[in-house]
Structure 1
Amino acid sequence: MSYFDKINEEAKDKWEQKGEDVGTNRGNRVWTGVFIIIVGMMAMLKSFDLPLPAWIFSWQMLLIGVGVFIGLRHSFQRGGWFILIIIGAAFLANEYFLETSIRKHLWPAVLILMGLVFILRPKKSTCAMRWRRKEYKALARQSAGTSWYDASTQRVDEENFIDSTSVFGSTKKIVLSKNFQGGDVVTVFGGSEINLSQADIQEKATLEVTAIFGGATLIIPSNWMLKSEAVSIFGGIQDKRALPSININSGKTLILRGTVLFGGIDIKSY
């Protein structure tokens, strides 16, 4: 393979990766927009005083809707969406549908179901699995004749990713990886603190944060650049780092994606 062929192939790889990132970001915005439209339509129906069941406009249905929204955002590969749907459905059934004699069996059944979810959920991080799929594509491209491409450089380790879900609770995690590549953080009616102050990245890492009726705090090294692509709806994303820290250009960029709905994300540095 000639030098120019290698350059063209490398450029093609970069464009493919960029296309995947853009497609993911656009998909997240689409689902966020759909969720807002549905909430608006429900509010409009309620304002018309139509003879609709009261449970449709209940807080339990809001929990179920948020669970479905998170599931769609993550292709139903995370546990947080399922827990929200189960809790919302349990409260909904308990208040509107179940007879008194059956209600006493509801919560034990819910606890058993949630326990099974934690036992049977995949152990490996979905983030690492996505990176492995990219690595397999690289290996396939290499076997097709592009031997100049060294797929081994795209090493994937579980410790290089973070996968955190907080539902009606709080989570604190410290990342020590020197090759941090990104992850997923979901916070619903709770809080998360992700400490990356002792971590390091190689050029770029992508962290997706979903904060719904909750908050997330990200503690990052002072020499990292932050590029926020997250969508904030009735919430906020605040970069509370000192100005000198923000202006440092180390070539290390943390891309922040996700959705903030009635919640907040704070970025800090020590």
Structure 2
Amino acid sequence: MNEFKPKNNDGNIAFGFIILGIGIILLLRKAGVFIPGWVTTWPMILIAIGTFAIIKHEFKSFFGFVLLFLGAYFLLRNEFDFDFGLSQYIWPLGLIALGIYLIFQKQRENKVLENVRRDWESKRQANTGYSKTYVEEAKVVGENEPSSSFAQGAKSTSGFTRTTGTAFSDRLNIDAIFSGVNRKLMTKNFEGGKITAAFGGIDLDLTSADFNGVITIQVDIIFGGVKMVVPPHWDIRTEITNIAAGIEDKRYFREGGVDPNKVVVLKGTILFGGLEIKSF
């Protein structure tokens, strides 16, 4: 099993320094020390949160860049009268940026699924029993439907998602933007992945998934919620930054405790949202 090594940049410590800095600034202002007024305005909060998210996620946080841009724009407009003529275009530009992000994200997802399909085909041809596992899982889900249709689907496609919300891919890649997503993952080779909820919600059922070792799930939530149902013996570890948000672990633990060979590391940022972890 791969050894779990937490990242050195602890999100709670960094966010603690941000709160400490805000407190010091407010104290200095009360003591009569000159602090520019724009330092304590609400756009600076967006700038601080966006900068923090970008640095924490190694300059790969889409929401971090969005918050940084919005904070900088409103700060320059409100405090320095630099409008740049963008007032009437700010929301259309935001929607365009979101659309471009979703398009490129879908292209990356298709590439991942294509790689999974090729890997599955190679393993099937090598008679490793990999395809048998997919067909058996499909039969369990579709016991009220002809099993031949599931077998044909397993032979022709890997990483597919049925209209019922059941997915047979090894990696998660879920985006809920102004919408809700229900997903049940069926795989015995779970590799982690990413889930993003922006003004939406995700219900994720992982009770039929299995793996060995350490996997990572990137969780980014802004004004949304995610409910994750996992087996009670999984070792769930969080490196998530909470900003006006909450994480609830409602799992029922077994007497045997957690399995050290099944470690799930949750990383990401929750802004004005929530994450709920449950088990049956």
Tell me the TM-score range normalised by the shorter chain.
0.5 to 0.7
Q: Is the 8 A contact 1:80 1:186 kept in 2?
A: no
Aligned partners of 2:175, 2:45: CA distance in 1, in Å? 19
**Equivalents in 1 of 2:200, 2:88: separation in Å?**
31
Letter matched to residue 67 of structure 2 = L
TM superposition shift of 1:226: 2.9
Please tell me whether residue 201 in structure 1 is matched to residue 207 in structure 2. no
1:161 aligns with 2:171: yes
Q: Deviations over 1:94-121 (max 9, x none)?
A: 4333359653344334443444444455
User: Which residue in 2 is equivalent to 1:95?
Assistant: 78
In structure 1, the residue matched to 2:228 is 218
**Is 2:212–2:261's contact at 8 Å kept on the other side of the alignment?**
yes
2:92 to 77, 99, 108: 108
Aligned residues: 221
| Structure 1 residues without counterparts, runs of 5 or longer | 1-13, 133-156
Partner of 2:129: none
Equivalent residue, structure 1, for 2:44: 61
Q: 2:13 aligns with which of 13, 33, 48?
A: 33
Q: Offset of 1:32 from its aligned partner?
A: 4.1
Letter in 2 for 1:209: V
Aligned to 1:48: 28
Aligned AA for 2:18? I
Report 1:182-197 matches (<5 A): 182-186=192-196, 190=199, 192-197=201-206
- Write the distance in 1 (CA, Å) between the matches of 2:92 and 2:266: 37
Between the aligned residues of both structures, percent identity stands at 23
Instruction: Quickly say closer, same or farther: Cα 1:41–1:177, change in 2 above 3 A.
Output: same
Residue aligning to 2:141: none
For 1:162, the aligned partner's letter is: L
Of the candidates 211, 230, 239, which is equivalent to residue 249 of structure 2?
Answer: 239
Contact 2:50–2:63 at 8 Å: present in 1 too? yes
Per-residue deviation, residues 117-169 of structure 1 (Å, max 9, x unmatched): 444558325xx6xxx9xxxxxxxxxxxxxxxxxxxxxxxx87322244667x5
Instruction: Provide the secondary structure at the position in 1 that maps to 2:108.
Output: coil
1:265 alignment partner in structure 2: 275
Aligned match of 1:11: none
Q: Offset at 1:44?
A: 0.8
Classify the secondary structure of the residue corresponding to 2:15.
Answer: helix
Deviation string, structure 1 residues 202-258 (Cα, Å, up to 9, x no partner): 224333435577643211235x423324467676543223345x7576776242333
Aligned CA RMSD, in angstroms, stands at 4.1
Q: Give the TM-score of the pair, scaled to structure 1.
A: 0.61
* Residue type of the alignment partner of 1:59: W
For normalisation by structure 2, the TM-score amounts to: 0.59
Deviation at 1:37, TM superposition (A): 0.9
| Residue 68 to residue 160, structure 1, CA distance change in 2 (3 Å) | farther
Structure 1 residues 54, 186: closer, same or farther in 2, change over 3 A?
farther
Letter in 2 for 1:203: N
Structure-2 separation of matches of 1:243 and 1:112: 45
Aligned counterparts of 1:90 and 1:32: Cα–Cα separation in 2: 27
Q: In the TM superposition, what whole-angstrom CA distance separates every residue of 1:17-59 from its partner, at most 9, and x where no partner exists?
A: 53xx41xx22341x54233213311321122114333332223
Cα contact 2:251–2:277 (8 A) shared by 1: yes
Task: For structure 2, list consecutive stretches of 5 or more residues without a partner in the other structure.
Answer: 117-157, 160-168
Residue 71 (structure 1) aligns with: 54
Match of 2:122 in 1: none
SS at 1:48 equivalent = helix
1:176 and 1:121 map into 2 onto residues whose CA distance is 20
Kindly indicate whether the alpha-carbon contact (under 8 Å) linking 2:190 and 2:210 is maintained by their aligned counterparts in 1.
yes
User: For the structure 1 residues 93 and 28, does the alpha-carbon distance in structure 2 shift closer, same or farther, using more than 3 Å as the test?
Assistant: same
Greater share of helix? 1
